[in-house]
Structure 1
Amino acid sequence: MAKFLLLFVLLCAAVHFTVVVAAYGTADGSEQWGYVQVRPKAHLFWWLYRSPQRTDAGPTPWPTVLWLQGGPGASGVAIGNFEEVGPLDANLKPRKSTWLQKADLLFVDNPVGTGFSYVQDESLFVKTDLEAATDLTTLLKKLYNGNATWQKSPLFVVAESYGRKFAVTVGLAIFKAIKAGELKLKFGGVALGDSWISPEDYVFSWGPLLKDVSRLDEKSADESNNMAEKIKQLIANGKYSDATDAWSSLEGYIISKSNDVDFYNFLLDSASDPVSLASTKEAARKLVMKTYTTYLSSKASSSDGDISTLMNGPIRNKLKIIPRNVSWGEQSGLVFSYLSNDFMKPRIIEVDELLSLGVNVTVYNGQVDLICATKGTEAWVQKLKWDGLKSFNNIDRTPLYCSSSEEAEATKGFLKSYKNLHFYWILGAGHFVPVDQPCISLKMIADITNSPAAS
């Protein structure tokens, strides 16, 4: 167990924290973690890893990646960290493909109530993506303002699935806070992986895609399209909560008619435990949320059995600062429920605004993802009003490889870039791109961040 160094005085009540910022870390400074009280009785948990490859020499500054998980309600501190890109896997063994080789990593359990983050009053859960962005920006102000070391490292917001909606809203909030002189950091851009940016385009992709790969027949695909059309109308009429319920029903229908296709890799069957899809709309929603961690845990083969055991056991013991009445993931279901009215809102306008402001926007997608299928991603990208879109469409893609010996290696993906828009197609990957294709993902993050360790 690492030795702990108290960096700030931590004042605790018998049950709850009352301080605004509290942080601990390892004695060598390679890790820091803590809480930021972003609003009274609302606390975000963060965990920073410093790369052993970090160098402040040379013309290119060492980057920091802020990883945001999806869900909403899925924990970046757990899933993104121990299951995808952090230095240790779910067995607490070194990960060969950790993104820490190319950048410092900052994981945040976002929004409040996710993972180790918590609220002391249920009314404090965020109800919109914009409220989540405000909390995240408050956290960044507390961490960066007054910290010259952190300010030297450009920050790249990299998010997965629903986290991409958080990424674009917080990206705009960061840009505006910097311009207003309220936040002192270098903003490198946002990366949107398998992103739930336009729910309408994704639900319309499911029927045709699954028919093409023989998981739905023509009748079922037609019904999927009919249900998607109803979702489109609900979104157009501003009935977002009803659209969320309709989305859940559509997923339940597809799971039933495809004999349990995996929404995170359409070449597989779902690895989730059996759930009765006929009972309620909530059943389908719980199934989808459950497969999020089940899929990753099956990849990790954790000896601890599941990520919850890991987080509430060894990791909680290491961190030492988790309040006694807070269990990892305890409030995550409520996070989803309170955001249900925002869940189906598109965020294409925000992507357009980022592009118009000159912010670097990277989109990457796994070839065999279903829930955020590449077909849907390509559709919403074509809805951008960005003035560079026509030129972007007219350029050719560049094939991607993991090694320099391209002739001896299969193609791992494709890249198309024009000005500040970059699109990566990652072959053979599902929803969790770094899990399925760790090598090309590592090269991708090095390119996105312009890492000095890119080679």
Structure 2
Amino acid sequence: MKMVSMKNLCIHFLCVLGCISSITSIGNSSDGTTDGSETWGYIEVRPRAHMFWWLYKSPNKPKHSTKPWPTILWLQGGPGSSGVGFGNFGELGPLDVDLKPRNSTWLQKADLLFVDSPVGTGYSYVEDESLFVKTDVEAAKDAVTLLKAIYSRNENIVKNPLYIFAESYGGKFAVTLALAALKAIKKGELKLQLGGVALGDSWISPEDYVLSWGPLLKDLSRIGDVALNQSNSLALKIQQQIAEGQYVNATDSWADLESYIFDSSNGVDFYNFMLDEGNDPNILTTKASRTFGKKPYAMVSETDGNDLDSVMNGPIRQKLNIIPSDIEWGGQSGGVFTAMEGDFMRPRIAEVDKLLSKGVNVTVYNGQIDLICSTKGTEAWIKKLKWDGLSSYLNMYRTPLYCDGDESTTKGYFKSYKNFAFYWILGAGHFVPVDQPCVSLEMVGSIVNTPNT
């Protein structure tokens, strides 16, 4: 089965780019629940470029505690995947895709801020396609503008540390945003305390990930020697293109490599290498096989088959009551990826190094059975860090992780040195909070130092 170019996928989810010339601009606006537990709104981060955000206040915050209560900013991948949709309802928000309470919501450990970034993602939109960002740095600039607006109007959260959590391509957004935020904080333009950055299964070094795919799948008996040799050849071609700064060509070659691996492995699931594509039993199961371009990726529920697209363009849209009538959730996502294809394969290891050198707490966590952002690839780019604590970190033993006090089953491993930490999450694929919710929640509490409730 021949795959359609992966550039049309945006890794998680793409919808066809709609006509945007007639979109109605609403400028800055906001709304929320009557009890103040939720607020949401639009910020015009640039003229005719509108970013949507949604903030949840945690009911677990101690009423009389003087300790700061953390806020988690969640950045989704793609580029073009919606944090307000995928991260919120698909992974860690208070409600699941069936709009039922999620027992493992991260709201137990922190306030949650979801954004649809870059502009054009999810409910965010641009009035002209020329306004899509083309680089991670441009996306970070818009996100800082958003944070300035949110924090300037809400004094209650200024004293609370902000932790930037990311998944997949969102990791590249996270490190560039963190650096841009630090710069704005230093200039006095942004009143915010940056608590740290957490990179979950993040596309920090595309080179190291593509180089890992062939050897990893060969060790798992998923491909044979002939396919291994061809996969390695394509990966080396990508490595050379990246070295020469040919990032658009590298994106094209990445699509070719994914297509080849999919075909030669008889349809391995890139988000869980233990499965075939489409057989994932959890909430992130796809509705279509990996024939991209015919149908978009979609999240569906485990129970009655609700899909995220219908939920976001139906009951959630009605609840929010500020989405312009001519905006469809995910309607511009394809344009986001296309605009960024020249930055997609650019590494961001140097940005991680800069954060570490500035004393920022950086945590990396990775699902054991993820292929797209494999643990093997993550460990490879970590070893390229110039951070002065790297040697000491690499020579440390790992500590096993359990959950709910049950030490009969190992759920993961952990080690840290100074301001860097790594979590290996066993039994999890690309979507760690979904596959291993218990140990993920305990990990989050440790990262953000949630006060006792």
Normalising by structure 1, report the TM-score.
0.91
* Residue number in structure 2 paired with 1:448: 447
- Structure 1 residue 396, shift from structure 2 partner: 1.1
Looking at structure 1, the residues matched to 306 and 195 of structure 2 have their Cα atoms a distance apart, in angstroms, of 37
* Residue number in structure 1 paired with 2:31: 24
CA offset digits 1:335-386 (Å, max 9, x no partner): 0000000000000000000000000000000000000000000000000000
Question: Counterpart amino acid of 1:326?
Answer: I
Looking at structure 2, the residues matched to 57 and 342 of structure 1 have their Cα atoms a distance apart, in angstroms, of 46
1:308 aligns with 2:309: yes
- Structure 1 residue 55, shift from structure 2 partner: 2.5
* Residue number in structure 2 paired with 1:6: none
Secondary structure of 2:387's partner? Answer: coil
Is the CA contact 1:194–1:373 (under 8 Å) kept in the aligned structure 2? yes
Is the CA contact 1:60–1:451 (under 8 Å) kept in the aligned structure 2? no
Runs of at least 4 residues off by over 4 Å: none
Question: Counterpart amino acid of 2:54?
Answer: W
Looking at structure 2, the residues matched to 442 and 26 of structure 1 have their Cα atoms a distance apart, in angstroms, of 26
Looking at structure 1, the residues matched to 303 and 252 of structure 2 have their Cα atoms a distance apart, in angstroms, of 33
Is the CA contact 2:51–2:117 (under 8 Å) kept in the aligned structure 1? yes
Is the CA contact 1:244–1:341 (under 8 Å) kept in the aligned structure 2? yes
Secondary structure of 2:202's partner? Answer: coil
1:127 corresponds to which of 134, 145, 152: 134
Looking at structure 2, the residues matched to 202 and 47 of structure 1 have their Cα atoms a distance apart, in angstroms, of 32
Secondary structure of 1:422's partner? Answer: strand
Question: Counterpart amino acid of 1:115?
Answer: G
Looking at structure 2, the residues matched to 258 and 247 of structure 1 have their Cα atoms a distance apart, in angstroms, of 16
* 1:305 to 1:147, Cα distance in 2 relative to 1, 3 A: closer
Aligned length: 424
Looking at structure 2, the residues matched to 115 and 380 of structure 1 have their Cα atoms a distance apart, in angstroms, of 30
Q: Which runs of 5+ in 2 are unaligned?
A: 1-21, 279-285
CA offset digits 1:65-96 (Å, max 9, x no partner): 00010011011001100010000000000000
1:94 aligns with 2:101: yes
* Residue number in structure 2 paired with 1:433: 432
Greater relative contact order, per chain length (Cα 8 Å cut-off, separation 6+): 2
Question: Counterpart amino acid of 1:265?
Answer: N
Looking at structure 1, the residues matched to 214 and 129 of structure 2 have their Cα atoms a distance apart, in angstroms, of 38
CA offset digits 1:234-289 (Å, max 9, x no partner): 0011100000000000000000000000000000001152455xxxxxx5xx59x9
Is the CA contact 1:56–1:62 (under 8 Å) kept in the aligned structure 2? no
1:197 aligns with 2:198: no
Looking at structure 1, the residues matched to 395 and 382 of structure 2 have their Cα atoms a distance apart, in angstroms, of 14
Question: Counterpart amino acid of 1:16?
Answer: T
* Residue number in structure 2 paired with 1:387: 388
Secondary structure of 1:228's partner? Answer: helix
2:125 corresponds to which of 107, 118, 124: 118
- Structure 1 residue 147, shift from structure 2 partner: 2.6
Looking at structure 1, the residues matched to 184 and 383 of structure 2 have their Cα atoms a distance apart, in angstroms, of 29
Higher helix share: 1
Looking at structure 1, the residues matched to 399 and 63 of structure 2 have their Cα atoms a distance apart, in angstroms, of 31
CA offset digits 1:416-436 (Å, max 9, x no partner): 110100100000000000000
1:178 aligns with 2:162: no
Looking at structure 2, the residues matched to 176 and 444 of structure 1 have their Cα atoms a distance apart, in angstroms, of 28
Is the CA contact 2:39–2:55 (under 8 Å) kept in the aligned structure 1? yes
- Structure 1 residue 220, shift from structure 2 partner: 0.3
Question: Counterpart amino acid of 1:377?
Answer: T
CA offset digits 1:200-259 (Å, max 9, x no partner): 000000000000111100110111000000000100111000000000000000000000
List aligned pairs for 1:205-220, cutoff 5 A: 205-220=212-227
* Residue number in structure 2 paired with 1:223: 230
- Structure 1 residue 56, shift from structure 2 partner: 5.7
Looking at structure 1, the residues matched to 289 and 437 of structure 2 have their Cα atoms a distance apart, in angstroms, of 30
Is the CA contact 2:76–2:86 (under 8 Å) kept in the aligned structure 1? yes
- Structure 1 residue 447, shift from structure 2 partner: 0.6
Looking at structure 1, the residues matched to 96 and 26 of structure 2 have their Cα atoms a distance apart, in angstroms, of 33
* Residue number in structure 1 paired with 2:423: 424
2:116 corresponds to which of 83, 101, 109: 109
Secondary structure of 1:429's partner? Answer: coil
1:75 aligns with 2:82: yes
Secondary structure of 2:258's partner? Answer: helix
CA offset digits 1:19-61 (Å, max 9, x no partner): 3x31100000000000000000000000011011113643531
How well do the aligned residues superpose, as a CA RMSD in angstroms? 1.5
List aligned pairs for 1:321-360, cutoff 5 A: 321-360=322-361
- Structure 1 residue 158, shift from structure 2 partner: 0.2
